[in-house]
């Protein structure tokens, strides 16, 4: 496999996993607030459901986080000076 293809795959996995992480963090916060019965989030789900969501998301969250972080470190190590420019602009 050529380097260009690997870079494209890693870049795409970084973008997709970032969106998945955003969704997981939102669900994690909602279930956490529902567990604590704060800000009315307990109306969205019961305490039992909130505990189930909160406990089930831990391992997938860490897995997606690692999938997201690996390409970031790979690209940053290849070109540290221009990495942040390429990422955000």
Structure tokens at 72: 């970031």
Report in angstroms the alpha-carbon separations of 44 from 7, 16, 22, 37, 57.
Answer: 41, 27, 19, 10, 17
DSSP 8-state assignment for residue 55: H
Q: Which among 15, 12, 28 is positioned nearest to 62, based on CA atoms?
A: 28
Would you write out the chain's pLDDT as a tens digit for each of its 89 residues? 576 787 788 888 888 898 999 999 998 888 888 888 878 777 888 888 888 888 888 899 999 999 888 887 777 777 767 766 666 65
Look at residue 1 in the predicted model and tell me its pLDDT. Answer: 59
Q: Alpha-carbon dihedral of residues 5, 74, 11, 25, nearest 10 degrees?
A: 150
Look at residue 78 in the predicted model and tell me its pLDDT. Answer: 75
Domain extents for the chain? 3-88
């Amino acid at each position: 496999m050529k380097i260009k293809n690997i870079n494209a795959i890693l870049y795409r996995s970084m973008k997709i996993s970032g969106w998945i992480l955003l969704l997981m963090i939102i669900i994690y916060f909602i279930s956490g607030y529902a567990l604590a019965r704060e800000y009315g989030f307990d109306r969205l789900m019961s305490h039992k459901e909130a505990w189930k969501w909160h406990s089930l998301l831990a391992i997938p969250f860490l897995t997606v986080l690692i999938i997201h972080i690996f390409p970031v470190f790979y690209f940053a190590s290849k070109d540290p000076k221009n990495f942040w420019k390429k990422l955000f602009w």
